[in-house]
Amino acid sequence: MYQKHKVGKIGEQLAEKYIINKGYQIIEKNFSCKQGEIDIIAQDKDEIVIIEVKTRTQTKYGTPSESVNNQKQNHILRVAEYYIHFKNLQNRYIRIDVIEVYFYKLGKCKINHIKQAF
């Protein structure tokens, strides 16, 4: 596994722990279909939350959320639409969040949760 994939997986694990501590219930992780993948699907009270996790060790090329550009947003929306149809969730409130995970030197990290990101 490449180093950036390892960092990404660790970021997803930290994001998962973070949302569980906030009272969310994990429904699925790494939901995959031919349209793509959703990192985390969770329930927050009466909302289904589609979560894109972006992890960075530096911001030289921008913040993690800046990498969720229009093309990536459209990609996430297509996968979310498939998931909603596949799980028959048409009458549920769906929200899309982005969780940024920043890794700093000495093993420290920061999590920034952007609700209703787009």
Asked if 107 and 57 touch (Cβ cutoff 8 Å), the reply is no
Under the banding of pLDDT at 50, 70 and 90, the label for residue 59 is confident
Antiparallel, parallel or unpaired: β 25-33 and 93-103: unpaired
pLDDT at 113: 98
Q: Which domains does the chain have, with CATH numbers?
A: 3-114 (3.40.1350.10)
Cα separations in angstroms, 58 against 29, 55, 101, 102: 25, 9, 10, 7
Percent of the chain with pLDDT over 90: 80
Q: Strands of 36-44's sheet, edge to edge? A: 25-33, 36-44, 47-56, 93-103, 109-114
pLDDT at residue 82 above 70? yes
Most confident segment among 5-9, 38-42, 53-57, 58-62: 38-42
Residue 13 pLDDT level (bands cut at 50, 70, 90): very high
> Which pTM value belongs to this model?
0.91
